[in-house]
Every structure is written in structure tokens, then in C-alpha cells.
Amino acid sequence: MNLVAIVGRPNVGKSTLFNRLVGNRDAIVEDVPGVTRDRIYGKSDWNGIHFDVVDTGGFIPGSETTMEKAIREQATLAIEEADSIIFVVDSRDGVTKFDADIAQILRQTKKPIVLVVNKSDNAKQDTYAYEFYSLGLGEPFAISAMNGRSTGEMMDKLVEGLKPDSEQEEDSRLKLAVVGRPNAGKSSLINSFLGYDRLIVTDVAGTTRDAIDTVVKYEGEELVLIDTAGLRKRSQVKENIELFSVLRTQRAIERCDIGIVMVDSTRGIEDQDKKIINQLEEARKGIIIVYNKWDIVDKDEKTAEELRKKFAEDMRTVSYAPVLFASALTKQRIHKILETAKMVSANRKKRIKTHELNEKILPIVEMTPPPATRGRDMRINFVTQVGIEPPVFALFLNYPSDLAENYKRFLENKIRDLFGFEGTPISLIFRRKNTKWEDRAQN
């Protein structure tokens, strides 16, 4: 997927433009320089070309020196990550020193740059844009991100530098994203895989853009390992580390088939781990939980099972995820991670025959029927699988919109009990019997 980064100094309207591009208010817009935001990543499209957008704002400068360093780092990191860059300046301020600094960095890249002169609310203010030709980045586009004024030509220029959807290559190899908190052992795991004697590192590139992809061959199959680490050593500004770490994690989750969630065994699962796990579930990706640093944990023969039980209790919606215990440092059980990943991949592709589903599910429904709603009996007549990666099942019944949520969970649990699907979410959709596929899908 194409990635567009929005760069610029604080308070020029980057978040407002981001909101306009992604079509909602994911970012929090305040008239305060460097206001921090929770969401900085979204999706957009123009003229049939789809792309991801990242807003690189979010730091609060403590001094002019810190501000200059942060701006330079953000621009540099954005250049590394993005396919195309929107550089936002403020028409009312004219060309500032920081604008010139960013422009100097951007001129050194061969990536497409769109120079946006924001806060141009009328024709008179459009004339202020001419000053920005001095930045040496080509034609400046005078727009108002707040009300959308004159954004059409700017968007036409933006997508000129992006690949059409038809040219964005699909990689059929199994892709595993190694995700987790900082210092949980993500890069150590990748390095251990590369040094493990049963793995053969191939000379096939992972992707053309992302240098942190690694390709290994395991049991005759090429696997792409997506490492989300690598920013902490290069970046000196804490906010930049956090912003681009979030970006890399989100994009890795989007690209992967299965997420390997690295948990520091000495600390256990914390809120950030839970957030990443929930992101994987929402994206309907496979999930494997790996308690790393198992070699230094004070444990007995019951510790592992107790942690598995606690995980299932704390994360009920993803209790289907296998929980492993390993040490990236000593390579203890790391082969089990790839073995489990191949198992989860097979489960994501698994298809159950319709007659087998109905022979096993309908008797359970007869024995434990759904609760009546508003005086009406609920009857499920037919079950069939309609999708894979992840598996999707359609159940036909008389009143689909009235089916209780707890009964939906009951059905999902029964399907898992009967057919497995360890490590992958499954989706259930409920349709009125003998109708077309127009009813709303429900997971």
C-alpha cells in the first residue's frame, strides 16, 4: 500500500489536512503548537488510487534547539518510510527558518514532494503562496485544509507520485509481524532465527521499500519476517521514536498474515501488549503470544500453564491464541514459533464442508436453541463457510437481528471446539433465511 507522510513544523494545519484526507476526526486538532494526538494513521483514496496517510506531528518542543532537532528527525524518518510526502506550510507566516530547514532535507530525496500552503482561505491569501517558490520544491498549492478549498488540484498532484492499485504487488509468502513493547526482544528473535541452523537465509528481498523485512526458509517454505524495531538507536527525540514506532506497528499489522506478539516474561502482559493484541484481532490477523526471556524467569513446572490460564482469563476475546515460552537470546524453543505460525496459517486457510458443518452444528442448536426474543422463537436452519483468511461462516435464521450476543459467542465457541481454528479469529455473519446477501455482517 502506498504511504503518504504529512510533514511540517507545528501548528501549520497538518492534523486538519490529515482529517480531511482520511475523512474523519482521528486526530485531535487544537490551536496549540505540537499538540499530542492518539491516532496519526489512516486510509484515503483519490481517483481510484488508495494510500495510507501518516501525520508526523505530535511533539511539544521544549526549546528552539530541541524543536529544530525534532523537526529534522521527523522529516528524515518520514522520507525513509513514505512513498510520497506532503510538506505543509502556513501562508500567514511566510517562509520560516524551520520551513527552510525541512525543505533542504526534502530536496535531497528523489521521492515526490507536494508543497501545500495551508490557511489560504480566499483569493487574496492565495497570492501569499508565491513566496514559497523560494523553497525549491516546485509549485506551491494554496489550500484551506479547514474548509477543503482548492484541495482538488493538490490531490491530483499527490497521486501522480503513487502507484495505481493494479501495480501494487501482492506477496503470497506467509508474512509474520514481530510486534510488542520496546525491549521485549523483537530484533533478538529475528537475529536468532537468522542464526538458527535449521533456517536458511535466502537472497530474495522482502519488499522494495521496507529494509527491516527478513526472508527465511523454514521446512521448504519462504517466510517474511517483519521487524517493527530499529528506531530507538537512530532517533534522539522521544516523541519521534513513539510516533514512528506506532506507525511501523500499525503498518506491520496491516501487511502481515500473523502477528507474533513478544511479551517480556519478567514483566508480563501490560496495557501496551493488550493494545497491540486488540489491533491484531480487529485487523482479523492470526495471533501468537510469545513470552520471551523465559530463560531468566524464576519458574516451576506449573508456571507456564498458570500464565496460559491467566492470559485466557484476561484476554477472553483472543483466548484462541496459542501461548508459547521461549528465549530469543538462548534460542530456546524458537523453532516452535515458526512451527506454530505454519499451523495458524493452515487454520486461516481451512475450509469446512457445508454438510459437515450442518451435521455437527444443527444438532447442537437443537439441544441448546437460541433464546426467544420478543416472544418469537429463533431458529437457525443452515450453516456454511463463505470465506477464509480469516474463516467466515454464514448462519441463516428467521430473525438474525434479534440473535443475542451471548448466543453468538456460544456458536463461535462450538465451532472452535469442533473444528479447531487455533490462532486465528473467525467471523460469524447472520442472514435471514432464503434472502440475498444484503444484511449487515456481524462478527
Could you tell me what percent of the chain has a pLDDT over 90? 50
- Kindly report the CATH number that applies to the domain delimited by 174-348: 3.40.50.300
Question: For residues 26 and 19, what is the distance between their CA atoms, to the nearest angstrom?
Answer: 6
Better-predicted residue by pLDDT, 61 or 98: 98
- Is the torsion defined by CA of 88, 94, 98, 104 positive or negative? positive
Whether the CB-CB separation of 337 and 346 falls below 8 Å is answered with no
Mean pLDDT of the region 388-392: 94
What CATH topology corresponds to 2-166? Rossmann fold (3.40.50)
Which amino acid, 303?
T
Give yes or no on whether 2-166 and 174-348 have one common fold: yes
Q: pLDDT tens-digit profile of 282-341? A: 999 999 999 999 999 888 889 999 999 999 999 999 999 999 999 998 999 999 999 999
List all residues 6 or more positions away from 196 whose beta carbon is below 8 Å from its beta carbon.
331, 334, 335
Lowest mean pLDDT segment, chosen from 161-170, 195-204, 246-255, 397-406: 195-204
Backbone angles phi, psi at 198, to 5 degrees: -90, -5
Which of 128, 129, 125, 156 is closest to 141 using CA atoms?
A: 129
Please say if the pLDDT value at position 342 is more than 90: yes
| Burial class (CB within 10 angstroms; exposed 0-12, middle 13-18, buried 19+) of 205 | exposed
**C-alpha grid cell, residue 102:** 525541512
Superfamily name and number for 354-432: K homology (KH) domain (3.30.300.20)
**C-alpha grid cell, residue 114:** 507536494
Element of type H or E holding 19: helix 14-22
List the chain domain ranges: 2-166, 174-348, 354-432
Q: Can you give the three-state secondary structure of 270-338, one letter per residue?
A: CHHHHHHHHHHHHCCCEEEEEEECHHHCCCCCCHHHHHHHHHHHHCHHHCCCCEEECECCCCECHHHHH
| Burial class (CB within 10 angstroms; exposed 0-12, middle 13-18, buried 19+) of 329 | middle
Q: pLDDT tens-digit profile of 8-61? A: 888 899 889 998 998 864 444 444 444 333 446 788 999 989 898 888 764 334
Please say if the pLDDT value at position 397 is more than 90: yes
Q: pLDDT tens-digit profile of 100-128? A: 988 988 898 889 999 999 999 888 889 99
Does pTM surpass 0.85?
A: no
CA 136 to chain centre: 35
pLDDT of 65: 60
